[in-house]
Amino acid sequence: MTSSSMTIAELRPVRVAYPGSAEALTLMRILIDTGEKDKPEFISNLKKVFQEKGISLEAVLITHWHRDHCGGITDVFEGLNLDHSIPVNKFPRKPFTEESIGGPLKYTYIKDGDTLRTEGATLRSIYTPGHTDDHMVLYMEEENAVFSGDCILGEGTAVFEDLHTYMKSLDKIISLSPSTIYPGHGPVVTDAVPKVRMYIDHRNHREAQILGALQTNHGKMTAMDIVKVVYKDTPEHLHIAAASNVHHHLTKLVKEGKIDADGDVSSMDCKWQSKL
């Protein structure tokens, strides 16, 4: 990595008990995500880095509400004896819900395109919902790099709450043409654009299979009916998980007007039919 950014994982003297890293430091002055609560080894190593590098923390940025990214906020402030005036920034939930950190700490809610500058680094917040409704990535202009939270992972593919918005978020990241992605979990991604394209192509391929099954059937199908066609070579004990994945695609296709739903779209018993 460059001198203007580092991940805590690369500075730890020992391997931690959980995979990847959901924490990063930018120019040693901005902390992106705090990890989980009750991880004393991380706090100890973070404190060591602060002391060795002479870090003066200016702000904390939280990519999204999941506990492995924000659960350790209080521990970080207490473990490093930080002033409570240091802002903890994140996007608000949608619909808006006031979120609690604990004690006197409160979130400062930011919006799409907000910029945080520090010596040698400019971070721009980019709203990328889909994994969660409040997810953001941070674009570092000086490195043409993206801190991707859980939108892009170092290994494998990401999970999501809403595939329709998630795909739009992937398009946003592609439009940046980043050189490097620093994910919330897993190794640094140096082939950034091909990685994001792989995510998009994977979902588009699965969507084409689902639409094909609906068009071939010429009738209404449940998510599980589609699984038995699209995932016919997948072991049966994995079909429930596959049905959940198919359901995400189906709700996306309804929003795009490509299929009709007969029943509650949130239910796995809903039946779907192609309009194409």
Q: Who has greater pLDDT, 7 or 251?
A: 251
Averaged over 220-232, what is the pLDDT?
Answer: 97
- Spatial distance between the Cα atoms of 2 and 108, rounded to a whole number of angstroms: 29
Confidence of residue 54 (pLDDT cuts 50, 70, 90): confident
Mean pLDDT (the chain) is 90
Q: Are 239 and 189 in contact (CB under 8 A)?
A: no
pLDDT of residue 3: 42
Q: Are 63 and 32 in contact (CB under 8 A)?
A: yes
E runs forming strands in the chain: 5-7, 24-26, 30-32, 59-61, 88-90, 107-109, 115-118, 121-127, 136-140, 145-149, 180-183, 259-262, 271-274
pLDDT of residue 8: 45
Residue 151 has pLDDT above 60, yes or no: yes
Give this prediction's pTM: 0.87
pLDDT of residue 140: 95
Structure tokens at 59: 């702000």
Confidence of residue 7 (pLDDT cuts 50, 70, 90): low
Confidence of residue 166 (pLDDT cuts 50, 70, 90): very high
pLDDT of residue 11: 36
Q: Are 41 and 205 in contact (CB under 8 A)?
A: no
What is the DSSP code string of 197-256? HHHHHHHHHHHHHHHHHHHHHTS-B-HHHHHHHHTTTS-GGGHHHHHHHHHHHHHHHHHT
| Structural domains of the chain sorted by starting position, each given as residue range(s) with its CATH number in brackets | 5-190 (3.60.15.10), 200-274 (1.10.10.10)
Confidence of residue 169 (pLDDT cuts 50, 70, 90): very high
Residue 26 has pLDDT above 90, yes or no: no
Structure tokens at 247: 């359901």
Confidence of residue 2 (pLDDT cuts 50, 70, 90): very low
β-strand pairing of 59-61 with 88-90: parallel
Confidence of residue 16 (pLDDT cuts 50, 70, 90): very low
Q: Please choose, from the candidates 69, 161, 157, 59, the residue with its C-alpha nearest in 3D space to the C-alpha of residue 110.
A: 59
What Rg value do the Cα atoms of the chain yield, rounded? 21
Q: Are 89 and 107 in contact (CB under 8 A)?
A: yes
Residue 145 has pLDDT above 50, yes or no: yes
Q: Please choose, from the candidates 164, 171, 55, 180, the residue with its C-alpha nearest in 3D space to the C-alpha of residue 118.
A: 55
Considering 57-61, 153-157, 246-250, the range whose residues carry the highest mean pLDDT is 246-250
Residue 217 has pLDDT above 50, yes or no: yes
pLDDT of residue 50: 84
Q: Are 69 and 99 in contact (CB under 8 A)?
A: no
pLDDT of residue 29: 81
Q: Please choose, from the candidates 225, 231, 213, 232, the residue with its C-alpha nearest in 3D space to the C-alpha of residue 274.
A: 213
Q: Are 272 and 221 in contact (CB under 8 A)?
A: yes
